[in-house]
Amino acid sequence: MNTTEITAASEELFSGKILHMFHDEVILPDGGRAMREIVRHPGGVCVAALDDKNNLFFVRQFRYPYREEVLELPAGKLEKGMTPLENGKRELLEETGAEGYSYISLGQVYPSPGYTDEIIHLYACRVSSVGESRPDFDEFLNVEKLSLDKAVEMVLNNQLPDAKTQIAVLKTKLLLDSGKI
């Protein structure tokens, strides 16, 4: 079955610093019409950084939409003029002070494909040296380390809700166990 939807009309409702929201009318595969509420986002990056004892670097920060602290792998929005990998190296350094090496891609994530076009690029790396973290002016976070096995256990026990973190932790574990990292 053909499933393609074609844009009939597009209205930009909000053009923010990060998000751009659109209300589009689409032509459905059967010729009918429907409205789509969508968010455009610059994209993100997330890094699973392992030290030589297979501990992962995490950041714990307040996530305003949920009004709670969430424990996540270091991550951030893509900045223009840098590749996703360069953004990953930058975010890891800014948020944790860690410098990574031997970066490998863990693929891409579509966080919620019904309404956002965000793509999150995932990487794993090893960590060589750790200095001071330098978060953005409006970013307050605590750096924590957890063993990879403890992180896997927490994902399976529903203690790490963040999507990119769950995926990067489980992929790192499966790829490490099969000798691919």
* Contacts (CB under 8 A) with a second copy, residues 87-116: 105-116
Binding positions for a second copy, 113-142, rule CB under 8 A: 113-120, 137-138, 140-142
Contact region with a second copy (CB under 8 A), list: 49-57, 65-73, 82-90, 123-131: 65-73
Which lies closer to a second copy via its Cβ, residue 10 or residue 128?
10
Number of residues that bind a second copy (CB under 8 A): 75
- Shortest reach from residue 62's CB to a second copy, in Å: 4
What tokens were used for 134? 């330098």
* Site of tokens 């840098």: 82
Q: Which of 9, 35, 101, 149 binds a second copy (CB under 8 A)?
A: 35
| Residue 126 bridge partners (DSSP) | 50, 101
Q: Which of 38, 104, 130, 176 binds a second copy (CB under 8 A)?
A: 38
Binding positions for a second copy, 2-21, rule CB under 8 A: 2-5, 13-14, 16-19, 21
CA separation for the pair 59, 74 (Å, rounded): 6
| Secondary structure class of 155 (helix, strand, coil) | helix
Residues 6+ apart with CB under 8 A from 82: 90
Q: Taking CB under 8 A as the rule, which mask of x and - marks residues 160-179 in contact with a second copy?
A: -xxxx-xx--xx--xx----
How does strand 20-27 pair with strand 33-40?
Answer: antiparallel
Please state the length of the chain: 181
Which lies closer to a second copy via its Cβ, residue 17 or residue 80?
17
Helix axes 163-177, 148-156, angle to 10 degrees: 130
